[in-house]
Chain A
Amino acid sequence: MLQRREIEESPDSPATLPFPSGVRVLLPDEAARRRAIEYRVVGLLERAGYREVILPILDFADCYDDGASSVPGRASYRLVDRDGELLTLRADFTPMVARALAPSLPTDAVTRVLYRGDVIRCESARLGASREYFQIGAELIGDAAFEADREIVRLAIAASGSGVTLSCGDASLPRLLEEESATDRDAASLLERLRRGTLEVADLVTCRATQSVASRFERMAEEVEASGAQMVAVFDPDDAGGYYSGIRFRIYRRGSNAPVARGGRYDALYAKYGANVTAVGFTLSVDALEVTP
C-alpha cells in the first residue's frame, strides 16, 4: 500500500513549482499583444488630451476604508510595514488617482489624466480567477455636464474595439427615488421595481425626480448607437454600492460576458481627499481584451 505521505510528497525542488494561482507570465508573443493594445489605447487617450500619472503600488490601507474603494478591504492584500503601519497593495486605481491628484487640482479648470498598471486583488474566487490585473484608465475631473459622461463613454467604447455592447445604469436612482418616495407614490413603486430589477427607461419618465436621468439615457443611447455600438439600459439595484453617484457602465465584446471596460461618475469621491470636484472615468481590463481578440 502506498503511504499517504508518499502520495503527497513532491520529489522535485520547490524551485520548479509553477507560479501561484491567479498570476501569470507573459512570454514574448503574449507580451507583444499586450504592448500593442497598450500603445493603441494610450495613444487614443493622449490624442484626446489625457496626460499620464504614475502611481505607487503600495499605500496606507486606512485611506481606502469606509467605502472609498469599490474593492472591499478583505479583497485587497494588506501587510504591516517595518514601522507597524498597515499598508495595502493597490487594488483599485480610481480612489488612488483621486487621493494623488486632490492636493494640486485646479478648481476652475478641467483635468484629464490617464493611468496604466497592475491592480492586485485577493477575491475569494472559485474558478482560479486572476489576482493581478493590468488596467489602463482615464479620469475626466471637474466637469459635471452630460458632455463629460459622453466623452468618457466614447473613449471607453473606442478603447474596447468594434461591435461592443454598452450596458449602462445610473447609481443615483436609489437615492433619487428614496428621497421622493415619501411624498410620491409613483416613486415608491419605481423604487420597488428597481429592487426587483424590473425597472425600465420608460418608467423613469413617469416620475418627476427621474425625468432628467431618463433624458440623459435617451441622449446617451443616440450617441452610442451613432458610434456603431449597442446600448442596453440596465438598472441594477446594487449599482449604487461603492463610490458611484451617477452613470455607471460596463462594456462587453460579442460572445463574452466578462466586461472589458467599466466606469462611471463619482462626484463625491474627490471630496474625501480634500478636493471639491466632480469626476467621471473608466478602466479598461487589458487582460480581458487579450482573450477576446
Chain B
Amino acid sequence: MSRPLRIALPKGRLLEPLLARLRAAGLDAPSAEQIASRRLVFARGGFEWILVKDADVPVYVEQGAADAGVAGLDQLLEQRPDVLEPLALDLGRCRMMLIAAPGAGPLATLPRAVVATKYPRFTRGWLLRRRTAAEVVELAGSVELAAVLGLAPYIVDLVETGSTLRANGLEAIETIAEISARLIVNREAFRLDPARVRELVARISALAIPDEREEVACASSN
C-alpha cells in the first residue's frame, strides 16, 4: 500500500494533551484547530490524521478505515475489537470503578442488584466473572445521576479524581481496572506492512507508560 498510514484520534478531553505529547515526541502532528477544520482527513508529517468520536476509534481501526488509532482501554474492554494493542500510553489514566449510592452496601448482599453504566457489555462480563447476579441498565451519560436519583443503587464508571463522587455523596467500592489510552493497530495493516507499523510504534513509544508490560498482560487476559 502506498498511501500514508492513517491515524484516528479521539475527540474530547484526551485530544489536546495527546497532540502535545505527539509533537513533543517529534511527530509533526496537526494542532487541534487544524484537525477540527472542515477537512475530514488531514495530511501532515507523513501521516493522515482523522478525528472521530472516542468510542468510534476502535471501529475505524478494526475495519481498516484507519490503520492505527488512540483509544481508551475502557472502550476496548467494552467493544473488544480485534486489533493489535502494542502500547499503553501515559495518557487518559483513570480507574474503572464500582460505585454505590449512600447506604447501598456491598454488591453481593442484594439478591438482584441493579447496576447502571455506559459499559454494559464489560459490566455484564465482570459481574459474571465475580459470580454476582445483577441487572445492567445501559445509560448514555451522567451515570452518577442514576445512583443519586435511585434509578440504580450501583454504577460502573470511570473515576479520575473522585471529586464528582464526593460532591454527590457516592461511595467508591472497588477498582475494576486501571485505564489508560492505548495505541491500537489494524491487524491487516500490520500483516501487510509490518515495517511501517514497527516504525510507528517506535516513534510513539515515547508516550508509553514505563511499566506498561504488566498492564498489557492483564488487559489481554480479561
Contacts and interface: CB of A to CB of B under 8 A. Distances in A.
Contacts of A258: 188
Contacts of A32: none
A247 to B, nearest CB: 14
B63 interface: yes
A200 B199 CA distance: 12
Interface residues of A, number: 21
Contacts of B193: 232
- Most chain A CB inside 10 Å of its own CB: which residue of B62, B191, B216: B191
A22 interface: no
B5 interface: no
Contact of B188 (A127, A197, A233, A257): A257
25 contacts: A127-B63, A165-B192, A167-B191, A195-B216, A196-B201, A197-B197, A197-B198, A197-B201, A198-B86, A198-B198, A198-B202, A200-B194, A232-B192, A234-B190, A236-B84, A236-B187, A236-B191, A238-B84, A250-B191, A252-B192, A257-B1, A257-B186, A257-B188, A257-B189, A259-B188
Interface of B: 1, 59, 62-64, 84, 86-87, 185-194, 197-198, 201-202, 213, 216
Nearest to A256: B188
Given A234-B194, A258-B188, 17 more contacts: A126-B59, A127-B63, A167-B192, A192-B213, A196-B86, A196-B87, A197-B84, A197-B198, A198-B198, A198-B201, A200-B194, A232-B192, A232-B193, A236-B187, A257-B186, A257-B189, A257-B192
A128 to B, nearest CB: 11
B105 to A, nearest CB: 34
Q: Is the interface of B mostly helix, strand, loop or mixed?
A: helix
Contacts, number: 53
B190 to A, nearest CB: 6
A258 B63 CA distance: 10
A234 B198 contact: no
A213 to B, nearest CB: 16
Contact of B191 (A127, A195, A200, A234): A234
Interface of A: 126-127, 165, 167, 192, 195-198, 200, 232-236, 238, 250, 252, 257-259
Nearest to B216: A195
A73 B107 CA distance: 31
B191 A232 contact: yes
Contact of A232 (B59, B185, B194): B194
A23 B190 CA distance: 29
Contacts of A197: 84, 86, 185, 190, 194, 197-198, 201
A234 B194 CA distance: 6
Contacts of B185: 197
Nearest to B188: A257
A165 B188 CA distance: 12
A259 B186 CA distance: 13
A126 B197 CA distance: 24
Contact of A126 (B62, B84, B198): B62
B8 to A, nearest CB: 15
Given A197-B197, A197-B201, A198-B198, A126 B191 contact: no
A139 to B, nearest CB: 23
